[in-house]
Amino acid sequence: MSAIATSAALSFPFSFCRSTKTYTRKCFKGGFGVFAVYEEAAGIELTNKKNSWLTIFDVEDPRSKFPQSKGKFLDANQALEVARFDIQYCDWRARQDVLTIMLLHEKVVEVLNPLAREYKSIGTVKKELADLQEALSQAHKEVHISEVRVSAALDKLAYMEALVNDRLLPERSTEESVSTSSSPGTSTVSRDNVKSKQPRRTLNVSGPVQEYSPHLKNFWYPVAFSADIKDDTMIPIECFEEPWVIFRGKDGKPGCVRNTCAHRACPLHLGSVKEGRIQCPYHGENRQI
């Protein structure tokens, strides 16, 4: 009863049209009824509406068109092209996640529809609904991850555009001032000298030595692999040149703390974790989230 009520509350862009001509009603023990629609026109209308929605997800996989680059440095155009590709991939990934939710919802409707399935026991139907609800919950999590990726890619693109503008605009103004101040006879020679003295305009994407920008610090998210963490396992990582350790808290949710104890900065991942409590292997310090 609760499984059927839960699946009926799911939202979906498709709707079954109730026929005004012919329908049957089957009542079962337990206090609920199932209505079956027999009108053929309703099925045709549903199929047409479904085909119109599926065209939204007919997008080519952009991974085969990833821009290839040589060397450790990228110029401004190449860096912007990489950022644009990131946004295209995030858009494609989000469409695939939403399509997964729609297909799972169709399976839920098929399980509950007595006309589209063979006769099954109530226990079998409940088990299928529980499996579909778990898969649907996982698909919703993937959609949220895709939203975070799209937002992060847009922030990264905005940061790179600002970086390109800050570098290119002063250089262009310098070239224009030099060309206007020189005479016509020596303008070509002066311009060549300026170009030869100026270094090649490149963006160092291998890792800046200066402090990281707040825009870049919002770009890293550990949720992609946190599902593989066990209750008694700690995974050390390095994020923006700082040591961190990921583990599961007492409530079962993944958490992240600095991978150093409060005494002498000993690595915590060498110790043990139990019920969300980390114990330092050298000083016995306990940390809990």
Share of the chain above pLDDT 70, in %: 50
Is the domain of 15 the same as that of 148? Answer: yes
pTM confidence score? 0.33
Render pLDDT for 204-244 as a digit per residue (tens, 0 to 9).
444 445 666 666 555 555 555 667 778 888 888 877 778 88
Is the domain of 151 the same as that of 233? Answer: no
Segments forming the whole domain that contains residue 259: 229-288
- Domain stops at, among 139, 160, 181: 160
Tell me what pLDDT residue 71 has: 55
Comparison of pLDDT for 243 and 177, the residue scoring more: 243
Is there a domain that residue 113 lies in?
A: yes
Residue 232: how many other CB atoms lie within 10 Å: 11
Is there a domain that residue 209 lies in?
A: no
Render pLDDT for 44-94 as a digit per residue (tens, 0 to 9).
555 666 666 777 777 778 777 766 665 555 666 777 777 777 788 888 888
Residue 235: how many other CB atoms lie within 10 Å: 18
Positive or negative, the CA dihedral 253, 256, 262, 268 is: positive
Tell me what pLDDT residue 222 has: 54
The CA-to-CA distance between both ends of the chain, in Å, stands at: 37
Is the domain of 47 the same as that of 132? Answer: yes
Comparison of pLDDT for 139 and 17, the residue scoring more: 139
The number of folded domains in the chain is 2
Q: How far apart are CA 229 and CA 287, in angstroms?
A: 18
Q: How far is residue 287 from each of residues 252, 255, 270, 278, measured CA to CA in Å?
A: 15, 12, 14, 5
CATH of residue 281: 2.102.10.10
Comparison of pLDDT for 259 and 178, the residue scoring more: 259
Is the domain of 128 the same as that of 271? Answer: no
Q: Which of 148, 168, 147 is nearest to 75 (CA)?
A: 168
Is the domain of 49 the same as that of 152? Answer: yes
Tell me what pLDDT residue 67 has: 65
Is the domain of 59 the same as that of 140? Answer: yes
Secondary structure tally for the chain: helices H, strands E: 6, 8
Reported residue count of the chain is: 289
Is the domain of 143 the same as that of 266? Answer: no
Is there a domain that residue 175 lies in?
A: no
Q: Summarize the confidence of residues 29-54 as an average pLDDT.
A: 53
Tell me what pLDDT residue 105 has: 79
Render pLDDT for 5-14 as a digit per residue (tens, 0 to 9).
333 333 334 3
Identify the bridge partners of residue 203 per DSSP, sorted by sequence position.
74
- Domain stops at, among 132, 160, 188: 160
- Domain stops at, among 160, 184, 206: 160
Render pLDDT for 102-124 as a digit per residue (tens, 0 to 9).
888 787 777 777 665 566 666 77
Is the domain of 130 the same as that of 240? Answer: no
CB-based burial of residue 1 (10 Å sphere; 0-12 exposed, 13-18 middle, 19+ buried)? exposed
